[in-house]
Amino acid sequence: MARFFMAGSNIRGGTAVIHGRDAEHVHVLRLRPGEDVIICDGEGTDYKCRLVRADREEAEAEVLEVVRCPAEPSVAVTVLCGLPKGERSDYIVQKSVEAGAREILFFQAKRCVAKMENAEKKLDRWQRIAEEAAKQSGRGIIPKVGWAGEFADMLDRAVHTELPLFLYETGEREPLNAVLEANKTTASAAIVTGPEGGFEEYEAKLARIAGLHVCSMGERILRCETAPVVALTALMYATGNLS
Amino acid sequence: MARFFMAGSNIRGGTAVIHGRDAEHVHVLRLRPGEDVIICDGEGTDYKCRLVRADREEAEAEVLEVVRCPAEPSVAVTVLCGLPKGERSDYIVQKSVEAGAREILFFQAKRCVAKMENAEKKLDRWQRIAEEAAKQSGRGIIPKVGWAGEFADMLDRAVHTELPLFLYETGEREPLNAVLEANKTTASAAIVTGPEGGFEEYEAKLARIAGLHVCSMGERILRCETAPVVALTALMYATGNLS
């Protein structure tokens, strides 16, 4: 069913009014009066509606039912990635939204080859990818994409969640599944992954000192764009959000 | 550590001889005598070796230790995907190898838009992607990529595993986590996912009749190239292969 994100203020007294780009989209999809659409307020609530009028500039729909968006996971996950090169960041944004992230932030790690230049343009692009992925996967919010800054700023973000996880490839680590099994009812979590070259040892040490769980995901070395999606999926599975 | 796949026959009496493209690769990486490499026989056994000679045409290494490749999961998973369009198939191959698949096969589903043309060229390309991903992620085998044929041929492949899973978006389904929790020690499994437009209802019915578990992965709609990796990760997590 076609899905639109719209501020709650446009839904009043059992009627939703669809303007602008969304009204055009209704037109392009050739949706006619009598057909059903879902209007999401972007805060996790779905309004199941039936179109009563569909013009190119404006459409109107009657609200049939109001439900909590069933696709929203019970855990709010912030994905924090060392900024990778090229299209890998696009990929991370798209797949993290599909897999259920609440927020995707990039940060500067020691081994980042990429630099955060043209920040505004990049953030715009990532946010558009997130919106597209949110619509397509049936999310109840549009996850925010942003820039977390330096490594220390990233740590600060991570420790403000209940379960901050730092994925690291070598050395002393907790197995990810042991940490997840002990935290099945967590309400919020962070997943921190490195850039192409991984993390420096001192970065892992800093993360441990800050109170993050330094975790292993087995012996297979994952690419920097694969690791966040795999960790996010494991977290969704362990917290009962993948069934 | 640099990793090479080599037939076991080239490793005799404690010495490994590296020829051809791999010898060139040793040269390109500027590996010198005294440095260590891993030579994998492609059947799950790793030979930890120290280079004693490294010429452009041939290198020789002393075997230090023989171990079972730690990256190989305990469960042999066949990923079966309805053939998608364009580069999505490349992506499925690469990510499935990273996530631990034993074998990746594509098949013709009713809603496939793509056709299996230039089969030989496509299979070559996919197999190269699989080899590259296997080296990079530290796998002990090079997963085979192939063409399974029609829907019925795919079903036949799937039912020859202990745990055939058919991921489907609507209707009567078992929750994936319930199925996985009941099969934590399975030795083999199949993961079947659809093309861009998903499966037809009759295809899901056929799968159920054939004995596959028709499963849901929650309310988020995953793209056809995302679903196999998410399902594979859930399976690896549930069977203890992600820690």
- Cross-chain residue pair A138–B221, CB shorter than 8 Å: yes
B236 touches chain A (CB under 8 A): yes
Residues of A in contact with B229 (CB under 8 A): 226, 229-230, 233
Closest partner CB to B176 (pick from A219, A220, A242) = A242
Tokens (6 digits) for B131: 């080899």
How confident is the model at residue A1, as a pLDDT? 83
Question: How many other C-beta atoms can be found within 10 angstroms of the C-beta atom of residue A155?
Answer: 24
Distance CA B231, CA B139 (A): 19
> Residue B25: which pLDDT band, with cuts at 50, 70 and 90?
confident
Residue type, B182: A
Q: If you average pLDDT over residues A221-227, what whole number do you get? A: 96
Q: Please, which contacts does B27-30 make with residues 24 or more away whose CB atoms are closer than 8 Å? A: B27/B54, B27/B55, B27/B56, B27/B59, B29/B2
Nearest to B136 among A221, A234, A243 (CB): A221
Sheet architecture: strand order including A45-54: A3-5, A36-40, A45-54, A58-68, A15-19, A11-12
pLDDT digits (tens, 9 = 90+) for B167-178: 999 989 999 999
Contact of A217 with chain B, judged by CB distance below 8 Å, is answered with: yes
Quick one: average pLDDT of A139-149? Answer: 97
Q: What mean pLDDT is predicted for residues A121-135?
A: 96
**Is the pTM value of this prediction over 0.90?**
yes
| pLDDT score of A9 more than 90 | no
pLDDT tens string B39-91:
999 999 999 999 999 988 899 999 999 999 999 999 999 999 999 999 999 99
Complex-level ipTM: 0.91
pLDDT, tens digit, 9 for 90 and up, residues B124-167: 999 999 999 999 999 999 999 999 999 999 999 999 999 999 99
Contacts of B221 in chain A (CB under 8 A): 71, 136-138
**Cβ pair B236:A218 closer than 8 A:** yes
Q: Which amino acid is at A14?
A: G
Average pLDDT over residues A104-115: 97
Residue B222 DSSP label: P
Smallest CA-to-CA distance from A68 within A16, A11, A135, A140 is with A140
Q: Which domains does chain A have, with CATH numbers?
A: 3-68 (2.40.240.20), 76-238 (3.40.1280.10)
The C-alpha atoms of residue A181 and residue A168 are separated, in whole angstroms, by: 19
